[in-house]
Amino acid sequence: MTTPRILIDSLVPLRFKFSIKYSILKEMNKGLIVIAAVLGIMMLLIAGVYFFIPANVLPAFLPGYDTNQTKVHYKHGIGALGLSLAVFAFAWFQSGKKSPPQEYQGA
């Protein structure tokens, strides 16, 4: 005896299954792009904090906070800047033009 899921899968043509899944994935990417952009902006702000604020004035939750040091953590800033650029690149590549899988374009 076949299960209802297998019966439904046999009735729906293959190209419609993939187009439905494709549209759902396309909608999911929009949220991912927004989250990546927000994270990129946050990392960019954190990089600015590391570049311009000495270690004794940093917020206590940031790595590098030390009450006895007055130096600026440039390496932390470069790391945060690199992470922000990587997250922005991820958001950019996710926002590019999408096309359905190759085998279904001609159908």
For residue range 35-70, what is the model confidence (pLDDT) as tens digits? 999 999 999 999 999 999 998 888 888 888 888 888
In contact, 107 and 16? CB cutoff 8 Å: no
Which tops the pLDDT comparison, 2 or 44?
A: 44
Per-domain boundaries in the chain:
27-96
Compute the distance between CA of residue 24 and CA of residue 83 in angstroms, rounded to an integer: 29
Please indicate, yes or no, whether the overall pTM of this predicted structure exceeds 0.85.
no
